[in-house]
Each structure stands twice: as C-alpha cells, then as structure tokens.
Amino acid sequence: AQTVTQSQPEMSVQEAETVTLSCTYDTSESDYYLFWYKQPPSRQMILVIRQEAYKQQNATENRFSVNFQKAAKSFSLKISDSQLGDAAMYFCAYRSSNTGNQFYFGTGTSLTVIP
Amino acid sequence: KAGVTQTPRYLIKTRGQQVTLSCSPISGHRSVSWYQQTPGQGLQFLFEYFSETQRNKGNFPGRFSGRQFSNSRSEMNVSTLELGDSALYLCASSPGLVGPIQETQYFGPGTRLLVL
C-alpha cells in the first residue's frame, strides 16, 4: 500500500508571512494524483489544491502553491501571505489512478497563524 | 449544489451495540467513500461504494459494513461496538470516474461517535 508521510506535526507562521508544509510519499506507480486538504476546527475537510503526477507544472491556487518533485516523491505546500483563517490541520493525500477512490492520507500538520 | 451531508452529527453508544451512519453525496456524484479519523491513527479508509457496489475496501474487520442505494446515498453500519470505535467518521463523495481522469473527493462534516 502507498504511504504518505508528513514529518511536521505542528507548524506556526506569522500573519502575512510564508510557510511551507512538507509531504513525501512512497509508491511504485507512475500515474497518480496528490492533494492537500485543510481541516479547520469546525472539522469540515476542504480541498486546498491538487496535482496530477503526469503534469510537470506545479499547481497553484491563489495564495497556495505546491512544489511537486516526482523523482524525490515530494509534494510540499506553500502558503503565501498567511491569514488567520489558514489556521487548520493540513492533510496530504495520495490517490492512485488505477484503484478507484481510495485515498491515502498523511497524519497531518497543525498550522497555527500568529497575529 | 448542496454539499455532502451526514447524519447524525453526534452519537453516543455503549459497547456491544450497533450503529448506522448515513451519508448523502453531492447531487450527481456516484461514488461514496468512508473514512475513520482518530487522533492516534489519523484518517483511515474504510470502503468505497460506486453504483450500489463496493468498489474498494480498507483493512477493517467485518463488523464494519456499508451499502449504497440507487440514489447514491450510503449507510455505514458498525456492529458489536468496541471502545476503540470511538472516532469521527467522514464520508466523501466524488463523481466516480476512474482512470486517467482527475478525481477529487468532497467531504461531509462527519459523524462523531463515542462508545462508552
């Protein structure tokens, strides 16, 4: 089974600054999808950004961008101009392109935004 | 479109009882997946249903079962509850397309189950 590792249980960032959350994964597949989800204290999981492994260009969504290094099996999330509303648990997730909708999640990184 | 809804939101049961959780996917979505979230184990995949058939299954005991109805609504059942089943149960829906087509799961708010 694929494994997803988030080595930073907790991170903090000053408001308006930039923070990068790390994620690595282990797979023997060549085609797959990667996601970052955000889970605020209210508990609703929200999609932040997604990346197809066959695309070399890094995905970007407003203040959120990823650094996808396929050879290194690394998928980090950069949050620019951090806002108080960014405070949440962030989960990295892997989905195979072949096995339907089975997602593998990392253990999460708790992000604190300091005013 | 309305989002994924789950009922009930909170549930308290005692050991040995059984429980049924419900999930209504986003309109038009045919795939429903269930996850168990605990502080110790994180998010773990239970199973996925697509067009009323179980398409994927995680490594959970047979006490955990599910089904999907023709309108794509799904239920998850846990029999003979154990203390360790206390968790947040999340449901996620997606269109259900497979293969080299982008897929994204959209999550519901979850059902928090406490087993005493």
**pLDDT tens digit sequence for B14-40:** 999 999 999 999 998 899 999 999 988
Distance from CA of B108 to the nearest CA of A (A): 6
How many CB atoms are located within 10 Å of the residue A44 CB? 16
pLDDT at A100: 67
Handedness of CA B50, B52, B54, B60 (dihedral sign): positive
Task: Supply the DSSP string of A23-89, one letter for each residue.
Answer: -EEE-S-SSEEEEEEEE-TT---EEEEEEETT--SPPEETTEEEEEETTTTEEEEEE-S--GGG-EE
Check residue A41 and give its pLDDT: 84
Question: Would the CB atoms of B100 and A50 count as touching at under 8 Å?
Answer: no
CB B111 within 8 A of CB B10: yes
Nearest-neighbour CA in chain B from A2: distance (Å): 12
Q: Return the DSSP state at B36.
A: E
Q: How far, in Å, are B29, B35, B102 from residue B5 at the CA level?
A: 13, 14, 23
Cβ-nearest to B45 among A43, A97, A102: A102
Q: Which residues of A are less than 8 Å from B103 in CB distance?
A: 33, 95, 101
* pLDDT for B100 beyond 50: no
Length of chain A: 115
Which residues of chain B does A106 touch, with a Cβ-Cβ cutoff of 8 Å?
42
Q: How far apart are CA B3 and CA A112, in angstroms?
A: 27
**Do the Cβ atoms of B58 and A102 come within 8 Å?**
yes
Span B55-76, pLDDT tens digits: 889 999 999 999 999 999 999 9
pLDDT band at A80 (very low <50, low <70, confident <90, very high): very high
Reported as a single tens digit per residue, the pLDDT across A15-47 is 999 999 999 999 988 888 999 999 998 778 999
